[in-house]
Structure 1
């Protein structure tokens, strides 16, 4: 299987509008970050999208991706769901509703934000989704088992997802001891890390991630959901402890 980072930035993306810091002015493609999202390709060539933010259309075009089979949603914040309307060409091409997997709370919020996609009589150009409610227990889809990981993002619960020996977690500031058991000794762990130093009420910072790396002991750990406050990719990546890496848009991981 393969995971491709479609976006590795925070809710504002990088560069940030109007910012003149060295990261936002960088010419390095690895410092240009769409909003956080990932695409998993199964060993049977099925495509699983994790989150669908405002950059979804451009992410698919830049990566020349033309197909999705299902979508997993981590939570309902705009930078993770507001691009769902842009799935229309894929839905029209397949002739089938797009399956969305999420908690009940997130599914209800999708209905509230995209009511026209669930109307009894839909406008001919509207998208169409099939909502599948999942709980914090493994489920099987596309002939693979997916294990949700429940984490806390400020005051709400968010789902990360584990595929085989890889786990993807975004928008987390706390992971319980129970959920950590699902994350021990992975081949690949992907965690959000908004910045290096100043504590954040809803996201991990670098110190938190390093502590989790030492505790959970994955073979490799990749940082995502990075803000412009983290620093330049080519400098900061070399300063990280062995086994920890900065992700970047377009990076692919085989697992």
Structure 2
């Protein structure tokens, strides 16, 4: 299984619109972060988790030619704004794409993108088959297990796909979800910044504590803001916890 990090940045991207706070960002291209998304490839499946505002650009630079399944973690726009860019894949594949998410996110997507659904569906708009999942689901050669956790006032649903666990926009993980993650070979976890604490996101030190607790062989951090320098941060982190970057590829 091959995983490509399409985007690793926080909700406004790095740098943010207007170049605000860009003076903190070095010339390292790994500090240029689009909104969070990941592409998973196997011999039988091509799956993306989340479709943010830069999704079209992400698919072009990663060379994505087919999408068999979309997984959505939650309804915030930095994770769903790119749903319209699935249209090109509908045309190429000549059919709708299945989309799995939580019941709450599914309802929100139908409201936010009402022109894609129902009797008033706009001709030529994105076609997805919506399905809410709350238990392990088999898709081709993948075992997909929802991983519910807290993101401040809302619940988010990460995913364990075989031995790969992906959780973004994390504040607190219940014990029941930690049990589902244990045994993964790779975990992806959000770590917004080094400090101070944040009301809806883990800091990097908090994310390291979770990685240590779960004893995952390798953890990659995502959803970093512009104050987090890639090279300096990785030097401070233990070897089993490192920052991911846009276009980074790993193989399980």
- What TM-score do the two structures reach when normalised by structure 1? 0.94
1:159-170 pair list within 5 angstroms: 159-170=157-168
- Where does residue 42 of structure 1 map in the other structure? 42
Which residues of structure 2 form unaligned runs of 5+?
none
SS in 2 for 1:80: helix
Check conservation: 1:69, 1:99, Cα contact below 8 A. Answer: yes
CA distance in 1, matches of 2:159, 2:24: 30
- Where does residue 203 of structure 1 map in the other structure? 201
After TM superposition, give the deviation of residue 20 of structure 1 in Å: 4.1
Check conservation: 1:173, 1:201, Cα contact below 8 A. Answer: yes
After TM superposition, give the deviation of residue 49 of structure 1 in Å: 0.6
After TM superposition, give the deviation of residue 144 of structure 1 in Å: 1.7
After TM superposition, give the deviation of residue 22 of structure 1 in Å: 3.9
Check conservation: 2:9, 2:36, Cα contact below 8 A. Answer: yes
- Where does residue 104 of structure 1 map in the other structure? 103
- Where does residue 232 of structure 2 map in the other structure? 235
CA distance in 1, matches of 2:226, 2:110: 32
SS in 1 for 2:143: strand
Superposed CA deviations along residues 38-89 of structure 1, whole A, max 9, x for unmatched, are 0111232x21010001010110111121211110000000000011011111
2:6 counterpart of 1:9: no
Check conservation: 2:114, 2:121, Cα contact below 8 A. Answer: no
- Where does residue 94 of structure 2 map in the other structure? 95
CA distance in 2, matches of 1:43, 1:218: 25
CA distance in 2, matches of 1:233, 1:207: 15
CA distance in 1, matches of 2:227, 2:155: 25
- What TM-score do the two structures reach when normalised by structure 2? 0.95
Relative to 1, partners in 2 of residues 1:12 and 1:121: Cα closer, same or farther, differing over 3 Å?
A: closer
- Where does residue 19 of structure 1 map in the other structure? 20
CA distance in 1, matches of 2:193, 2:114: 36
SS in 2 for 1:127: coil
CA distance in 2, matches of 1:86, 1:211: 37
SS in 1 for 2:121: coil
2:61 counterpart of 1:81: no
C-alpha RMSD of the superposition: 1.3
